[in-house]
Amino acid sequence: MVERVTATDAALELIDKLKDKHGPLMFHQSGGCCDGSSPMCYPDGDLMIGKQDILLGEIGSSPFYINKKQYEYWKHTQLIIDVVDGRGGMFSLEGVEGKRFLSRSRAFTKEEAAELQSAEL
């Protein structure tokens, strides 16, 4: 099955470290404003998920959400969550670690897009 969101090994290592410190986590793909368009990491349940948010998948056994409108722009791509040195969003848990999560993406192949479309029916 094609995944709509994945994570690099470096991101998964940081997720494990954050879980050890904070317990279960959740992610939401920020749509801009103060923290730019970056994946935000929270203790599970700290961010209110509404009807406008959809569950894109899981990374590191943590749910990953995105706003429906933003999803419409990115639905043709797989999000690949990575980590780089630097300060993350001020509300995201990884900021104090001197790291920040970063969204990379790649377009789905025609075969992957067809598989995803048939799974949605």
Question: pLDDT-based confidence at 37, cuts 50/70/90?
Answer: confident
Let me know if residue 27 belongs to a domain.
Answer: yes
Residue 11: which CATH number? 2.60.300
Let me know if residue 121 belongs to a domain.
Answer: no
Question: How do 25-29 and 39-43 pair as beta strands?
Answer: antiparallel
Mean pLDDT of the chain: 91
Cα dist. 36→2, 13, 39, 102 in Å? 27, 23, 9, 10
pLDDT given for residue 24 in this prediction? 98
Q: What are phi and psi of 118, to 5 degrees?
A: -70, -30
Tens digit of each residue's pLDDT (9 = 90 or more) over 40-76: 999 999 999 999 999 999 999 999 999 999 999 899 9
Let me know if residue 79 belongs to a domain.
Answer: yes
Please state, in angstroms and rounded to a whole number, the distance separating the CA atoms of residues 39 and 99: 12
Question: Is the pLDDT at 109 greater than 90, yes or no?
Answer: yes
Question: Is the pLDDT at 95 greater than 90, yes or no?
Answer: no
Range of the domain at 55: 5-115
Number of domains observed in the structure of the chain = 1
